[in-house]
Structure 1
Amino acid sequence: MAEILCTICARGGSKGVLNKNIKKINDLEMIAYSIIQARNSKLFKHIVVSTDSDEIANVALKYKAEVFFKREAHLASDSAPKLPVMRDALLRSEKYFGVKFDILVDLDASAPLRTSQDIKKAYELFIKENKEVLITATLARRNPYFNLIELDNGEVKRSKQGFFTTRQSAPKCFDMNASIYMFKRERLLKSDDLFGKETSLYVMDESTAFDVDSELDFKIVEFLIKERNLKPEEF
């Protein structure tokens, strides 16, 4: 049986939406959705939140996530990439729990529309394909091969990349949404590369894959969550 660690990385200094990770939607803080989804998936013994914020840590603890360290400042800046944050959480968790984890699953705190079924199905795909990495995406709403145009010295031109005259003839493209990442331990520790033959792609429905980066995003997600009116056990 594989040892699986779930991480949820949530820093305090969000800019697009102030304090977005603990901003309430339908009476639940946004990070609570990811914690509850992780619990409902039944995949994880440990759900660890990595944060630099005492407020976020207190909310995470309220929903029974584990917060046993405070993220260092250099991993919580606007420019800090996410993979080193995951790596840091993995190594700290291994030391704290005395367990060598085989797989790390990271859930983005700003993707509250994701479901526990998404997590389980993505994991099933990851195990079935036996790859080193899994990323999630949705089918692109605007195919760049067809829709991309350029403004060149006042002249509107089809982009050099956009040489297909119908959407149907253009290659199928996907939008990464960062909702779920999965890594085999050794891959996460040795590489920052997400792509290649050792990467699985789990395609999510657009209705469960919305990511909150702006106030408009927040309003859309808030509307969709209230419309669904799901109870926590149904996430």
Structure 2
Amino acid sequence: MAYRGRSVLAIVPARGGSKGIPRKNLAVVGDRSLIAHAAATIAALPWIDASAISTDDDAMAAEGERGGLAAPFRRPPELANDTASAADAWRHAWVASEAHFGRTFDVGLWLQPTTPLRDPRDVERTLAAMVEGGFGSAASVSEIPAHLRPERAMTLGPDGELGFYLPAGRGIANRQEIPATWYRNGVCYAATRETVVELGQTVALRAAGVPVAGTVVSIDEPFDLELCNLLWERARRAGEGGAS
């Protein structure tokens, strides 16, 4: 195993609490839970040396184990609330996993269950971009539609007056004039051990962005879950089986 000589640890973050969808990470898309989708992605990538689920919830830990994830630790309460940072949770999981497996890992993956329709090839592309480019981390990204970019954003004053969020927006007539901007879509984060464990970061000072083609749905609200199931069913009917 290992990826280009680097040992790889994959972490699936799945805290028990969620507001939009109760116990969201156990919600089902297609034929399996969100946690099981993340576990299936890991199983499809043979160069991953070890994997674990980071959770404060016993039922979610058990679901991870059913998918082949190790669950030797629980995330502490202070890292499982709405104000906890992903950087702190990832660092805790990395260190706890190293203690469990009795070894250190060179690079890590952070695979959120809430993006269940990911293609394993995009995960490999993200890690490859980081390794080949000598970056401290990498993140999958999607392009922001032109009408949602900062140049199109507006402000609304107390008296109802409409204004441009960016002064430059006033001079833009066509969407083709708006520079491309991107957002992190949750398909994959990759980082070196130094970035996460030593520096406590998820996005390094030098980070790679890896564009992902097609529709990426990150599940926060019930509508997102419905949309994911519709996309899954459409892929199944097309004979693609649905990406894991």
| TM superposition score normalised by structure 2 | 0.89
Alpha-carbon distance in 1 for matches of 2:181, 2:148: 6
Deviations 1:131-173 (A, max 9, x none): 0011121000234243211112321222235343322222211
* Alignment map for 1:108-123 (pairs within 5 Å): 108-123=112-127
Aligned to 1:210: 217
* 8 Å contact kept, 2:137–2:202: no
SS of corresponding position for 1:71: coil
* 8 Å contact kept, 1:143–1:167: no
Aligned to 1:39: 43
User: Which amino acid in 2 is paired with 1:188?
Assistant: V
Alpha-carbon distance in 2 for matches of 1:34, 1:9: 10
Pick one of 64, 68, 71 that aligns with 1:64: 68
* Alignment map for 1:77-226 (pairs within 5 Å): 77-141=81-145, 142-152=147-157, 153-161=159-167, 162-163=169-170, 164-189=172-197, 190-192=199-201, 194=203, 196=205, 198-207=206-215, 209-226=216-233
Task: Give the total of aligned pairs.
Answer: 232
Query: Shift of the alpha carbon at 1:179?
Result: 2.4
Aligned to 2:57: 53
* 8 Å contact kept, 1:145–1:170: no
- State, as a whole percentage, how many aligned pairs show the same letter: 22
* 8 Å contact kept, 1:143–1:172: no
Deviations 1:72-104 (A, max 9, x none): 111111111111111001111111111111101
Aligned to 1:7: 11
Q: Name whichever of 109-118 and 153-162 sits farther off.
A: 153-162
* 8 Å contact kept, 2:123–2:187: no
Q: Name whichever of 135-144 and 75-84 sits farther off.
A: 135-144
Query: Shift of the alpha carbon at 1:195?
Result: 5.4
SS of corresponding position for 1:64: coil
* 8 Å contact kept, 1:43–1:120: no
User: Which amino acid in 2 is paired with 1:224?
Assistant: L
* 8 Å contact kept, 2:126–2:189: no
> Aligned Cα RMSD in Å?
1.7
Question: Quick one: structure 1 residues 143 and 231, their matched pair in 2 at CA, closer, same or farther if it must change by over 3 Å?
Answer: closer
In structure 1, runs of 5+ residues without a counterpart are: none
Alpha-carbon distance in 2 for matches of 1:126, 1:95: 25
Alpha-carbon distance in 1 for matches of 2:212, 2:165: 28
| TM superposition score normalised by structure 1 | 0.92
